Structure formats: C-alpha cells, structure tokens
Amino acid sequence: MGCWKDISQAAKTCRNHCPYCFLSLHVDDKIPGDRKTDCGWKMYPIAYEIKNWQLKICFQCKKCWKNHRNKRADDDEVEKLDMYIKKHKENLY
C-alpha cells in the first residue's frame, strides 16, 4: 500500500491494512470484513488496544473521519506500530 511492499495473502483475516506501514483503505462499513462502504479513502492507525489477549488497531479515515478497529494479523510488524501511529497522526492533523 503506502510503502509499496508486497502483501502476503497467507494470513486469513479481514485485514485491509498493510502489515508493514499500517496504511489501510476505508472499505468496511459497520462490521470489519463487510466491505460495504463506498468511501475507499486512506485510513491511518491512530491507536491500539489489547483486549482478550488480542491486539486491535484503531484506524481513522482521512476523508470522513470514521474510526474502525481491526485485529492484527500474524505477519503484521507490530514492533513498528507505535512509530507509524505517531507518523500518521502528524499527517492527519
């Protein structure tokens, strides 16, 4: 996506974000994986939470400002997540 790296199709998730730079596309409406919105703009990670031992990343759309959470996939480079949250927040506001 934003970093132009190849994204593996191996992870079977509802992921719509890059596992390297965490840039996402606004494709879901109310439920992760429903692919029911026409927005299609870029979404950036703004926070994350650990709930029931699962890391969930919160993304915000740059066009409509809607927030969505998405589970991390096994191949996400989460050690870089804090850096990208900071970087994307600086570009959003």
Parse the chain into domains and list their residue ranges.
24-92
Interval 71-88 mean pLDDT: 90
Examine the pLDDT at 82 and tell me if it is beyond 90: yes
Considering only the C-alpha atoms of the chain, give the largest distance between any 2 of them, rounded to a whole number of Å: 34
Whose tokens are 């790296």? That residue is: 5
Q: Higher pLDDT residue, 31 or 4?
A: 31
DSSP 3-state of 32: coil
User: Bridge-partner residues for 27, per DSSP?
Assistant: none
Whose tokens are 């390297």? That residue is: 20
pTM: 0.82
DSSP code for 85: H
Answer yes or no: are the C-beta atoms of 18 and 3 closer than 8 Å: yes
Measured between alpha carbons, how far is 82 from 66 in angstroms, rounded to an integer?
A: 20
